[in-house]
Amino acid sequence: MYKFCFYVPSADAVKTAVFATGAGAIGDYRECCFESAGTGQFRALDGANPAIGLVGDLEHVDELKVELVCATAHILDAVRAMINAHPYEEPAYEVWPVLTLADLEETLG
């Protein structure tokens, strides 16, 4: 199991693509995620093709942080789907392993 987090200015299209891979499933529930609003910051360098702003300018953008869980079998497809659906040239994201109750019981007894 993995926790998958990405940052996006508008989340619906990206979430749809990610959920289509099977990510965001928890038991008998599907398309589960948590969103929090914040401000992203970046400066596009020479050679970049920014979706928002201009090369060389420091940008501040209202963004959503989308967090969800993803089974190991789906994580690679979920990350690829996010990258393909994301409006940014270089989306920011994180993936890290998580332990479920079953994992903890197996490990700790």
Quote the pTM value: 0.90
Give 14-69 pLDDT, tens digit per residue: 999 999 999 999 999 999 999 999 999 999 999 999 999 999 999 999 999 999 99
Range of the domain at 59: 2-108
Q: What's the rounded Cα separation, in Å, for the pair 23 and 72?
A: 9
Q: Hey, CA dihedral for 98, 70, 11, 47, is it positive or negative? A: positive
Counted domains in the chain: 1
- Report the CATH number that the domain containing residue 54 is assigned in CATH: 3.30.70.120
Q: What's the rounded Cα separation, in Å, for the pair 27 and 64?
A: 25
pLDDT-based confidence at 109, cuts 50/70/90? Answer: confident
